[in-house]
Structure formats: structure tokens, C-alpha cells
Structure 1
Amino acid sequence: MKTLKLGLIGHPVKHSLSPWIHHQFMKQAGIEGEYHLYSIEPEVFEDKISKLLESGINGFNITVPYKQRIIPFLDELDPDAEKIGAVNTAVYKDGKWIGYNTDGAGYVRALKQVLPADSSTQRVLMLGAGGAARGIYRALVTEGFSYVDIANRTREKAEQLLQLQEPETVTEILTFAEAEEQIKKYDIIIHTTSVGMSPADNEQIVSLSGLKPNAVVSDIVYKPIETKLLRSAKEQEATIHHGHSMLLYQAQYAFEIWSGKQIIIGDLLDRLEQKVTEA
């Protein structure tokens, strides 16, 4: 295979761990390549993107604030990316730029590493209804999870996610207070907001009092590695699932799209944790 030219666009991107992750993947796959960071100012986005698309690059990731703004520049969208309304991965294939969303699917790949083999009938509670939640909710329902409730500060925003439902999905919309009251009925709790990141790293979005001892609690925040929510879950003997695994598995899926090669995670999760801790 020729040298892969890859990158990440966003603003800001200078602290991204994506170059490290994708260079590990290239090494494992035996592919020569490069992965560059492109920090693009919002006022010059159109001009810079047009030049990037014509630069001979094979593919790139997209992070905030451009996951929607990139869409008009692409020739085609994967059906799930179209439904979600956001793209985080673009690939040049057969003369076309095609957009994908690997965030949700990558997240569910990561989550499955800590779930029992058949977990699709377990009750899931999602906390938050923003951009990350859209991708995760879509991936959960397409993977066949039957009961996925959504708690959010505003009911209207949570209801927008119902457009992503599958016919067999049962979803109830809750306030955070209602979610707290019913916490004991959930097997899997997924936190999708930025609460728990600096400067809110001493906060958690709901109390986990009364949590099932064998529940799985997952937080997509990856810095700090162990958020206040995860510490609280651990105190109640829950299985905890860290946010940096989503970062790694969504990148794995993106790299597979670009290269056509399968990547084994192996010890990369532990090594990424070390990188996050040091950063």
C-alpha cells in the first residue's frame, strides 16, 4: 500500500493524542504513513478545507467545532452519519469524499469489552443528550439494545434523539432528578456530558446512591481518567468503564475505514492511559 496521508481537523487540536494512536496502528498494520494536526480558525474554514480536500490526503478525522460544518464539503455520507447529522471521519475513495461517524460505534465496541456476552436486554440509562449522546444512542439501538432511557436537563433536546430510534427500541425521557430516583433499575449507566472535566472535575451529574452492585458505569470523559462519577461507582462495587477507551476504539474503526486493515487493541489501552495521565 502507498503511504497513507491522514490527519485531524478542529480548533484547537494541539493536545490531541490522535497522532500517537494512529502511528501505533500504522506500525501494527505494517503501513508507512503520516498523521498531521490541522488547527483551522473558524473564519477561514471553507478555504482551508477546500485546499485540504485537494491536497492528496487519503482521509482525516474531524473534531469540534466542525463535525456538522464539514458535511457540505463531502460527496456522500454513510447512512448512520447522515441520521446522526455529524461526521468525525472522512475518506477519499473511488474519486469521492465519504463521511462516517465512528464515535458511537467505536464507543459501543469499547463498552462491549466490559459487558456480558448477551447484554442487549439490559436496561441502559444515558446521561445527557448532546452531540456525543446522539452517536452513542444511535449505535446502541443499531446494536440491538432494547431499553435505552435518556436523562437530560431539557426534555426537548432529549426528545430529538428519538428520531434515531429503531422500531424495537423502548426509550423513556427523564429529568436528572427522575433518573436518580430510578437509578437502581439500570444495568448500564453512560455519562455523555463534559461534567467531570476541568474545571468541573469535582462534580458529578447525578447521585448513584442505590446503584445495583453489579451495574456498569461508563464515563466518556477521559481526562481525568477516573472522574468523580466513576469513583462514586467504584465505591458501590460497580464495574467502571473509562472514557479513553472510546477515544481508542473510535480511532480503530476510523483506521479500518482508511486502511482496510483490522487492528488488535492488545496493550494499547494501557499505553494510552499512561499517555493521558502524563499529558
Structure 2
Amino acid sequence: MPTPRFALIGHPVAHSLSPRIHAAFARQTGIAMDYGLIDATAEEFDDALAKFAAAGGKGANVTLPHKARAAAACESLSDRARRCGVVNTLTRTATGWAGDNTDGLGLVRDLTDRHGQDLRGRRVLLIGAGGVAHGVAPALLDAGISGLMIVNRTDSRTDALADLLGDPARVHPRNFADLHTQGVFDLIINATSIGHAADGGELPLPQSLIAPRGDVVDLGYGEASIGFLAWARAGGADQMMDGLGMLVEQAAESFNVWHGVRPSTDEIYAELRAESGLTTVA
């Protein structure tokens, strides 16, 4: 019997750690799986997904820029995916693709279980309104935050995410230009390329946004997160974290969706963190 096939679909994907993470989970649990990479542009996504299914693909993770398109390609959606409107985990069924989203649970698990964060009652700033921001926002609300302010370069996308969340008492869309009048935040989450080397330019964010003992997370990881976390350090942030832990935790949740077993994440996280040479909690 051939080894069940799984993959990450995105563009670009050559840099991804996902195959290594899932290989570690497979060894740990004794579950056979072949996890590869499929590089597909937005125009190629539908054809790439169809070819993967025809070749016996059992499940896939989805990354930029396809999370919204993946949701539209599904025959069914989990409650989590329906709430956030995007999909990062696909499972092949007898009638088509079933979609789920594990990003939010992955982020909350990393913040609470690994970094000791208590999210209850915290005022949170979410920078970005793309696929990753959609994925994490509902889980943050479920974790008990008191308020979620969303800013993005495109106001219409900010408003669309706020409308989707359907919690006007706690969710507030704002423009970057308004941030200097919005007070301070206990937790700031960067779900964009702002501060990354490829983005260029200065950060359009006042450091006065960081509350005393406030924390900052960049959902990128490794070198991509250095610029934003340096901004946070200069602004006096307490804990500064990158997205490596979220990457590992959301992968574990996807593995559980596919196999009904949630692997331990500590060993592979520690291995990847040591190799990165970067400390993300200060």
C-alpha cells in the first residue's frame, strides 16, 4: 500500500519547515506519511489542488496566498474555518475537500502553554487583515481578550474582517493614521510583512502603543521577524516572540485533524529554535 500523501501548497514554499515538522511528528507517533511541497501561484492553485487529489493526496496545509481560495474550494468547512473565512488545513473526503483552520489554536497554545501568557482581559492590537489575521482573530476572542483593534493598509479589508468576526463590542477596525490616538495595548501581534527586510521602509507605528509590561508577537519567524521585534525591544516590550512556536503548534493541530493524534511539540520546537540561533523571549 502506498504511503499516504500530504503536502503544503503555497507560493513560495521552498523555505518551509513544514515537511521537517511533520516528519518529526510521524516518527514520534509511528504514523506513515509522505509530506511534500507544492509551489503554486494564485492562478495555478485550483489545478495544483486537483492534480494532488487525483494523485491520491489525503490532506494538505495551505499558506500564502491561498487561504481564502482554499476555503472556496471546500465541499465542507469546520466551525473554525467558517468563523474565520479562511482555510489552512484540507482533508480529502469521499465527496471533496473538507476545510479547517488551525492557525488560531496554534497561536493561542504557543502563547499560553509555551510562553505563559494569560490572554484574559488583555487589550490586543492585530496588525493585518489577510489570511493569517483571519485565522487567529476568532481564537484570540475565544481566549477572553477584552478588545481587539485591527489595522491594515487597506481599510476595506480591515472592515471586512471586523464584520466577519461579528463582535462589535470588542472588535474595532482602525486606520494606521489613527493609532497615535488609540492608547496602549497589552499585546501587539504583527500578521504582516511590516518590519521584515523585504517590506522596506520605516515601521508606521509609534512605540508608545506598547503598554507597560506589554508583549509583542511577530507571526513571521527567524530573520523575518528581527526588524519588528527590534522595534518592540526599543519600545520597552516585556516579552518579544516570533511565530516559530505558532508554526509548530498549528502543524500539530493539523496532524491531529488528519490522524486523530496530537503529537508532542516540545522536541521539534527546541530543535528548530536552537538551529535558528535567535532568542525570541526577553
Per the normalisation by structure 2, the TM-score is 0.85
Structure 1 residues 118 and 224: alpha-carbon distance in aligned structure 2, compared to 1, 3 A threshold = closer
1:201: Cα distance to partner?
A: 6.0
1:42: Cα distance to partner?
A: 4.8
Assess if the C-alpha contact under 8 Å between 1:61 and 1:89 holds in 2: yes
Provide, for residues 70-112 of structure 1, a one-character-per-residue CA deviation record: whole Å limited to 9, x for no partner. Answer: 3444321112313322211111246552111122222222222
1:215 maps to 214
Assess if the C-alpha contact under 8 Å between 1:81 and 1:99 holds in 2: yes
1:21: Cα distance to partner?
A: 0.8
Assess if the C-alpha contact under 8 Å between 2:222 and 2:242 holds in 1: no
Q: Distance in 1 between matches of 2:44 and 2:37?
A: 16
Assess if the C-alpha contact under 8 Å between 2:83 and 2:164 holds in 1: yes
Matches within 5 A, 1:31-46: 31-46=31-46
1:89 aligns to 2:61 (yes or no): no
Q: Distance in 1 between matches of 2:255 and 2:202?
A: 34
Q: Structure 2: which 5+ runs fail to align?
A: none
Q: Distance in 2 between matches of 1:42 and 1:163?
A: 25
Partner AA of 2:55 in structure 1:
S
Q: Distance in 2 between matches of 1:113 and 1:205?
A: 31
Q: Distance in 2 between matches of 1:127 and 1:174?
A: 10
Assess if the C-alpha contact under 8 Å between 1:221 and 1:227 holds in 2: no
Query: Pairwise CA RMSD of aligned residues?
Result: 2.8
Q: Is the deviation greater in 144-153 or in 239-248?
A: 144-153
1:151 maps to 151
Indicate the percent of aligned positions where both proteins have the same amino acid. 34
Structure 1 residues 256 and 211: alpha-carbon distance in aligned structure 2, compared to 1, 3 A threshold = same
1:74 aligns to 2:74 (yes or no): yes
Assess if the C-alpha contact under 8 Å between 1:183 and 1:208 holds in 2: no
Q: Structure 1: which 5+ runs fail to align?
A: none
Partner AA of 2:206 in structure 1:
S
Q: Distance in 2 between matches of 1:231 and 1:218?
A: 11
Assess if the C-alpha contact under 8 Å between 2:7 and 2:37 holds in 1: yes
1:210: Cα distance to partner?
A: 6.4
Structure 1 residues 77 and 265: alpha-carbon distance in aligned structure 2, compared to 1, 3 A threshold = same
Q: Distance in 1 between matches of 2:43 and 2:128?
A: 30
1:219: Cα distance to partner?
A: 0.9
